[in-house]
Structure 1
Amino acid sequence: MRIAVLLSAGRHPVSGRPAPVPVELQALGLALGLSDEVTGLHAGPDIGPLRDALGHGLPRLIHLASEAEDDPVPGLAAALASGGFDLVLAGRAGQGGEDSGLLPYALARALGLPIVADAVALAPGAAPGTLIVEQALARGARRRLVIRLPAVVTVHPAAPAPAPFAFAAARRGIVDVQAGPSAAEPARPASEERPYRPRPKLIARAGAGASAAERLKAATESASGGGRLLVAPSPEEAAGEILQHLRALGLLPGR
């Protein structure tokens, strides 16, 4: 199985210094658990701290040299299409940049591949050309999916930690610098910036024939949610109010 791991130029959230993105190193750990044919891909002006990925077990890193303002999607899509990769792994989002998390989805659309988000574990499927993905859901829940390759999978921060850094592995790793296609960033729609101005609150309107006092009350008092305030009621009185409220909502039949 040929696996590509997308690597981005991240920054440390506290110091702001260039640093690898932790979730992308976790994606690298999942890839190395599946296959020995793992390749890292990065599009940008330089790789900087991404050489540390070699120390975490990445055997080969392809650097698609391009300008900082270039759109990375065309270059990455061309490299992935020509590389014949079965699986593309990416982090959930970058770190230190725009961090929109849309790059894997744009690549999946450009390549015509399915995409699965928030994987925490990967395993080969029982049928050839399939992959078992354990997906993280809200509140710690998990879901197991079986997908057909090739596909794009993003990794959740709850995935296992990557292998520890080894200097010998970093020395063995290969960095292959290639010229990426020059593709200007797509033009964004024009937007207008205006200072914030609080809007007036909507007030309840009094009836046409209301008195001055009623109109003043409607303009000054806040809208009420209805109901009646009970202070230290007896159990029987509280239960009666609850039943009356449920009947008013139509949840219980009337007497």
Structure 2
Amino acid sequence: MKIAVLLSAGLHPVSGAPVLPRLEAQAIRMAAGLGDVGGEVVGLHAGPDAAAVAEALGQGLDRIEHVAVAAGDDPVPALAARLAEIAPDIVLAGRRSQGGEESGLVPYALARALSLPLVSDVVAAAAEPDGTLRFDQSLGRGALRRVLVRGSVVVTCHPDAPAPLAYAYGRARRGSVAALAAAPVAGRATVDTAVEERPYRRRPKIVKGAPAGGSAAERLKAATGESGAAASGRLLIQPDPEDAAREILAYLRQIGVLAAPPAPKT
């Protein structure tokens, strides 16, 4: 099994120093778990310099391939060309970079360029004995979905995935960075990246459920959450456990979390 981990030049949010994004370090750990069953794991970075991703060698990678791309150029064509050459079974990436151009579109652009399926927000991955890849995809609020894929796939790592491996200085010294020349892309169009910068302006918070044309007291209740379903509950001070449980069940049925109790049989 061949596994490629996409690496980006991240920046520390406070100091601005080059740093490996945490999501990509988590993707390296996920790749290491898949590589333990028999496979080759390699990091892939496209950019002007590989120093920003050298930290990944101490996080679990043995080899990094650096495709030279000029600063400001789109890295997707160079990454797609190299991935087409090595044909990995899994392409792992973070959801977005850190501190730089955090568009989060690179995995999707690569999946489209390589005609591969993409599974986003993966928290766990495993390989079945028959070659099928099993992924647990986060759906938010603790919900997970089991996804089975046969064939090559692009995967993005979720923040709830296992924490990165501890940095090992000896492993970083033993690792290697291979410099590769980017293949020229015919007919590459230049993209105008000029943007307009404006100072941040806080926008007023929209109050949901505020009555139109209501009084000031009604609008205040809507803003503080004292209206609606919550306002219809009872205030119990040091109640008996049975009374408190009964009131909680009644409220959960009122807001639709629990079904109404079945009608007694006659």
In the superposition, relative to structure 1, how do residues 159 and 186 fare at CA in structure 2: closer, same or farther (>3 Å)? farther
User: Which aligned pairs between 1:61-210 and structure 2 lie closer than 5 A?
Assistant: 61-128=64-131, 130-182=132-184, 186-188=190-192
Code of the aligned partner of 2:173: R
What is the TM-score of this pair, normalised by structure 1? 0.73
Larger mean CA deviation between 139-148 and 75-84 belongs to 139-148
Deviation of 1:126 (Å): 4.8
Alignment gaps of 5+ in structure 2:
200-210, 219-231, 233-266
Larger radius of gyration: 1
Deviation track 1:23-78 (CA, whole Å, cap 9, x = no partner) reads 00100000010114000000000012311111112011000011012110111001
Give the corresponding residue for 1:28. Answer: 28
Deviation of 1:141 (Å): 1.5
Moved over 6 A (4+): 189-195
Alignment gaps of 5+ in structure 1:
196-221, 230-237, 239-255
Q: 2:101 & 2:82 partners in 1: Cα distance?
A: 23
Secondary structure of the residue that 2:178 maps to in structure 1? strand
In the superposition, relative to structure 1, how do residues 49 and 189 fare at CA in structure 2: closer, same or farther (>3 Å)? closer
Code of the aligned partner of 1:149: G
Deviation of 1:187 (Å): 2.3
In the superposition, relative to structure 1, how do residues 192 and 84 fare at CA in structure 2: closer, same or farther (>3 Å)? closer
- Paired positions, count: 203
Q: Contact conserved, 1:62 with 1:175, CA < 8 A, in 2?
A: yes
Q: 1:37 & 1:171 partners in 2: Cα distance?
A: 19
In the superposition, relative to structure 1, how do residues 71 and 175 fare at CA in structure 2: closer, same or farther (>3 Å)? same
Q: 2:52 & 2:148 partners in 1: Cα distance?
A: 35
Deviation track 1:80-107 (CA, whole Å, cap 9, x = no partner) reads 0100211100001001112110000000
Q: 2:190 & 2:156 partners in 1: Cα distance?
A: 24
In the superposition, relative to structure 1, how do residues 13 and 190 fare at CA in structure 2: closer, same or farther (>3 Å)? closer
Deviation of 1:224 (Å): 2.4
Give the corresponding residue for 1:55. Answer: 58
In the superposition, relative to structure 1, how do residues 17 and 193 fare at CA in structure 2: closer, same or farther (>3 Å)? closer
Secondary structure of the residue that 1:33 maps to in structure 2? helix
Secondary structure of the residue that 1:100 maps to in structure 2? coil
In the superposition, relative to structure 1, how do residues 139 and 58 fare at CA in structure 2: closer, same or farther (>3 Å)? same
What is the TM-score of this pair, normalised by structure 2? 0.70
Q: 1:102 & 1:92 partners in 2: Cα distance?
A: 9
Instruction: Tell me the percent identity.
Output: 55
Give the corresponding residue for 1:8. Answer: 8
Question: RMSD over aligned Cα, in angstroms?
Answer: 2.7
Code of the aligned partner of 1:14: V
